[in-house]
Structure 1
Amino acid sequence: MTTATWFILLGSLLLVVGFTASYIRTGPATSAIVYLVIGFVVGPMGLGLFHFNPLKESALLELLTEIAVLISLYCAGVKMPAPVTFRRWRNPLRLAVVSMSLTVGIVALFGYYWLALPLGAAVLLGAVVAPTDPVLATEVQVRHADDPDRLRFALTSEAGMNDGSAFPFVMLGLGLLGLHDLGDAGWRWFAIDVVWASGAGIIIGIAAGCLVGWTVQKLRSTYTHSEFLESFLGLGLIAFAYGISLLVNAWGFLAVFSAAVALRHTELKLAGLKQSYSDPTSGETHPGDTPQPIAHIHQSSLVFNEHLERLAEIVLVLLIGGSLFWDSWSWRAVGFAAFLFFVARPISVHLGLLGSKAPMRLRNLAGWFGVRGIGSLYYLMYAIQHGLPKDIALELIHLTLVVVALSILVHGVSVKPAIARFWRARKSAH
């Protein structure tokens, strides 16, 4: 495709999305399905107007997916309820740590014994597809900070946390392939990649979010006529927390999500405001209701960043559609996706929530809606840029693209009726 054709295609797609946003929102399909189908039509599976090669363009795709995930993590973080309590976050933590680790292990076993991958490649595959996606899972994310739905909160906070907690397993896979130093008996991997990088990322994020929130509140109380570019402050917080994390070899995804959560918590605390939840069964509110806006950085910057998130989603899903051929849909790849959706994810979620008070309906839906997407592509491109052998890279690209595409289609079609049925069941139970 020429540059002019690319601009025409993207411009037309943006116009279509702009004009039909309300219809897509209320229709049976998600917006990501629309973008993917358009990618199929103009890509090798359809008109053949373009073909995107993820291996050849791995550096570009790594950068694009990295930016998309960072913006999405910020958007998810500023919608998290405050104050942060262990009781409220206990189940999401189980999903993000225990369930995700179990998914990596189950997929690694499947990849090693069934797909005949080298052990390091099998572990890397597990790390790539285990984390759920904060970019494409908008239909199962919290709509706003006062959203009372426990399912959406669990899935949103899980996606925010496990996009950072998957990194140690990526490094473990690279280490088993001889591309990363694990240390004797894995001590360096555990001390640096697990303990230090995860802990430092969370601490950096909390410190950065609290500092920005405190500074804004202090300036507003001291200089009452001061104005801020809230969108720039939000982007600045993302870049600052992520940059500091990279500087000290901490996991930046965890830092950005933690910074966004800390920003909201700090602003509400300093303003003397409390989180208020409406009862969804009272008939006064509905799942998509929007609360009255509060003039804070976390609220004001959210709209701008959500638009950037939507733009990144359009471009990246379009590229996914343009990366697949008809012969990409092999039984090997489709079978692996089915194993991930119907076996690995549900088992890991039920085991991770074992002993919790989470209702069975919530566990079943959380086990189903483990949406895979942009985060998986980022981890894979990261591994390729760190020297992943070409034959392994091609195999993992094939498997990952099919998993992501099927996740967009299967989860996208089922999400709206499943969520609606979940809410009806909750109302009837009350």
Structure 2
Amino acid sequence: MIPLLSEAATIAAQAPRLAEYYLPMMFGVGAMILFVAWVPLFLKRLPLSLPIMCVGIGFAIFSLPPFSSWAPHPDNTPVLVERATELIVIVSLMGGGLKIQRVISWKRWNVTWRLLGIAMPLTIAMVMLLGHHLLGLGLATALLMAGSLAPTDPVLAGDVQIEHDEDEGQAESKFALTSEAGLNDALAFPFIHLAIAVAAAGSLTLDVMSHWVLVDVVQKLVVGLIVGTGLGWLIGYIIYRLPADTRLSRTGDGFIALGATLFIYAATEFAHGYGFLAVFVAGLAIRRAASDQDFNRKLHDFADESERLMMMLLLLLFGGMIAAGLLADIGWEEALFAAIMLLVIRPLAGAISLIGVKRPKLELAIIAFFGIRGLGSVYYLSYGLNHGSFDYEYSLWGTLGLIIAVSILMHGVLVTPSLRKLGNYYKNRGIETSLPTD
């Protein structure tokens, strides 16, 4: 049976029980939506984050009957996990692109290029070595894990991302993490494809490498860049540049952002390019075309609201995965792997990439440290496992789940006081900033 049909049949078999709890579930979902809208007002000055609370609530819900029998696991619905995380990542990437005003250039985006060109390859190399020597992973499996863990998550990094109307010059750390998260999801894809190719071939051969460089690196990145730029410019023209009575901005409909996201992503995938790259680049192009800033804000806000709603649902399910035993087989090796990944590899790779950047040390430390891992990593691991044959599949999910859970908790607790400390640093020196202060 086709995997997606098999998963649909499993869900359909539970339909009678779902119908029994239809109204309680409706009540719970409605309460959670109101919760997601309301609770950020209380979290601004607390060492907590919305993702932490969503995972905790999901764990609590799926630990109790009757919901405990429905607790999800990625092994049971691999295709649904892949597609659900794919959707939220592209919505998040469009929202990220719509935030950024800074013109792309080598100098203005210097920190971003360093994170992408130095920190990300270093992270992949170090995670591969650690996975091989500590967890006993083979080349293909270690590469899949490294590629999945390399990107900074665009979905869960909301607390350290630039706001739509925030002065980017006053919040370099937030701009750097926003732009990094927008681009490194696409740049991780070639390494996932290489892992799949190595798993299929059994080794890293010259034919595998040549096809990878020409197709998975050059061709797909170039196609994604061209299609994203072209369609972003075209949609921006339709929204803002047509005669006043026909331009799309007259509708005032923020859901245009979602339509543009889906259209651009699918068109790029049809053209055999990286849709993640195209969507983010298109968001940048649409923002650059925005003469009506109010409508651009509507586009961004709709994308942001859609992302938060989907994030809530997926993190509830992630909490359910933990309740279902996602971390049950974690041993000291996996725990040590997660600790080294979060506390050593990402901060070290980030710090190396930022050598020579003339910014306050605290700000550089924040940029290097706050590379949160999240739903983008879930997507890449599920994509790899659904398209290739790898060893230790169950162990990979447990290790990844542990890293994401600890990353959400650690970064969620530390981000507010860290940004406030940076804001106070600038305030004490008489420098105006949009960062929070005491």
In which range does the TM-score fall when normalised by the shorter chain? Answer: 0.7 to 0.9
Offset at residue 6 of structure 1 (A): 4.0
Quote the Cα distance in structure 2 between the aligned partners of 1:382 and 1:45. 31
Judging changes above 3 Å, is the alpha-carbon distance between structure 1 residues 223 and 310 closer, same or farther for their aligned structure 2 residues?
closer
Q: 1:77 is matched with which residue: 90, 93, 97?
A: 97
Match of 1:227 in 2: 250
Which letter maps to 1:318?
Answer: L
Do the aligned residues in 2 keep the contact of 1:81 with 1:146 (CA within 8 Å)?
Answer: no
Quote the Cα distance in structure 2 between the aligned partners of 1:220 and 1:345. 49
Q: How does 1:193-208 map to 2 (within 5 A)?
A: 193-208=216-231
Answer with 141-150 or 248-257: which moved more.
141-150
Match of 1:420 in 2: 420
Do the aligned residues in 2 keep the contact of 1:241 with 1:255 (CA within 8 Å)?
Answer: yes
Quote the Cα distance in structure 1 between the aligned partners of 2:200 and 2:154. 30
Judging changes above 3 Å, is the alpha-carbon distance between structure 1 residues 45 and 28 closer, same or farther for their aligned structure 2 residues?
farther
Aligned residues between the structures? 404
Offset at residue 90 of structure 1 (A): 1.6
Offset at residue 301 of structure 1 (A): 1.2
Do the aligned residues in 1 keep the contact of 2:39 with 2:50 (CA within 8 Å)?
Answer: no
Judging changes above 3 Å, is the alpha-carbon distance between structure 1 residues 15 and 235 closer, same or farther for their aligned structure 2 residues?
closer
Offset at residue 350 of structure 1 (A): 1.6
Do the aligned residues in 1 keep the contact of 2:224 with 2:273 (CA within 8 Å)?
Answer: yes
Offset at residue 213 of structure 1 (A): 1.2
Which letter maps to 1:24?
Answer: L
Offset at residue 398 of structure 1 (A): 0.8
Which letter maps to 1:195?
Answer: V
Which letter maps to 1:411?
Answer: H
User: Is structure 2 residue 134 aligned with structure 1 residue 114?
Assistant: yes
Do the aligned residues in 1 keep the contact of 2:232 with 2:281 (CA within 8 Å)?
Answer: yes
User: Is structure 2 residue 179 aligned with structure 1 residue 157?
Assistant: yes
Match of 1:288 in 2: none
Aligned-residue sequence identity (percent) comes to 32
Match of 2:276 in 1: 253
Quote the Cα distance in structure 2 between the aligned partners of 1:386 and 1:249. 16
Q: 1:177 is matched with which residue: 193, 199, 202?
A: 199
Quote the Cα distance in structure 2 between the aligned partners of 1:183 and 1:372. 32
Structure 2 unmatched runs, 5+: 1-13, 431-438
Answer with 230-239 or 298-307: which moved more.
230-239
Answer with 380-389 or 355-364: which moved more.
355-364
Quote the Cα distance in structure 2 between the aligned partners of 1:226 and 1:404. 39
- Partner SS for 2:155: coil
Answer with 50-59 or 323-332: which moved more.
323-332
Q: How does 1:6-45 map to 2 (within 5 A)?
A: 6-44=25-63
Offset at residue 359 of structure 1 (A): 3.4
Answer with 181-190 or 50-59: which moved more.
181-190
Which letter maps to 1:317?
Answer: L
Q: How does 1:73-112 map to 2 (within 5 A)?
A: 73-112=93-132
Match of 2:313 in 1: 315
Which letter maps to 1:347?
Answer: L
Offset at residue 113 of structure 1 (A): 1.2
Offset at residue 88 of structure 1 (A): 1.3
Judging changes above 3 Å, is the alpha-carbon distance between structure 1 residues 78 and 6 closer, same or farther for their aligned structure 2 residues?
same
Structure 1, residues 104-126: CA drift from partner, whole Å, max 9, x if none? Answer: 11000000111100111001101
Do the aligned residues in 1 keep the contact of 2:241 with 2:247 (CA within 8 Å)?
Answer: no
Judging changes above 3 Å, is the alpha-carbon distance between structure 1 residues 98 and 217 closer, same or farther for their aligned structure 2 residues?
same
Quote the Cα distance in structure 1 between the aligned partners of 2:387 and 2:346. 28
Judging changes above 3 Å, is the alpha-carbon distance between structure 1 residues 226 and 69 closer, same or farther for their aligned structure 2 residues?
closer
Offset at residue 217 of structure 1 (A): 2.5
Offset at residue 224 of structure 1 (A): 8.1
Match of 2:388 in 1: 387
Offset at residue 133 of structure 1 (A): 0.6
Offset at residue 222 of structure 1 (A): 5.8
Match of 2:297 in 1: 299
Answer with 219-228 or 335-344: which moved more.
219-228
TM-score normalised by length of structure 2: 0.86
Q: 1:56 is matched with which residue: 53, 67, 76?
A: 76
Match of 1:138 in 2: 158
Judging changes above 3 Å, is the alpha-carbon distance between structure 1 residues 216 and 14 closer, same or farther for their aligned structure 2 residues?
closer
Offset at residue 394 of structure 1 (A): 1.2
Do the aligned residues in 1 keep the contact of 2:164 with 2:297 (CA within 8 Å)?
Answer: no
Do the aligned residues in 2 keep the contact of 1:136 with 1:374 (CA within 8 Å)?
Answer: yes
Structure 1 unmatched runs, 5+: 272-293
- Partner SS for 2:392: helix
Which letter maps to 2:83?
Answer: L
Do the aligned residues in 2 keep the contact of 1:59 with 1:385 (CA within 8 Å)?
Answer: yes
Do the aligned residues in 1 keep the contact of 2:238 with 2:247 (CA within 8 Å)?
Answer: no
Do the aligned residues in 2 keep the contact of 1:65 with 1:378 (CA within 8 Å)?
Answer: yes
Quote the Cα distance in structure 2 between the aligned partners of 1:265 and 1:139. 24
Quote the Cα distance in structure 2 between the aligned partners of 1:234 and 1:256. 11
Match of 1:289 in 2: none
Answer with 9-18 or 340-349: which moved more.
9-18
Do the aligned residues in 1 keep the contact of 2:61 with 2:68 (CA within 8 Å)?
Answer: yes
Do the aligned residues in 2 keep the contact of 1:179 with 1:388 (CA within 8 Å)?
Answer: no
Quote the Cα distance in structure 2 between the aligned partners of 1:172 and 1:56. 25
Match of 1:378 in 2: 379
Q: How does 1:341-380 map to 2 (within 5 A)?
A: 341-380=342-381
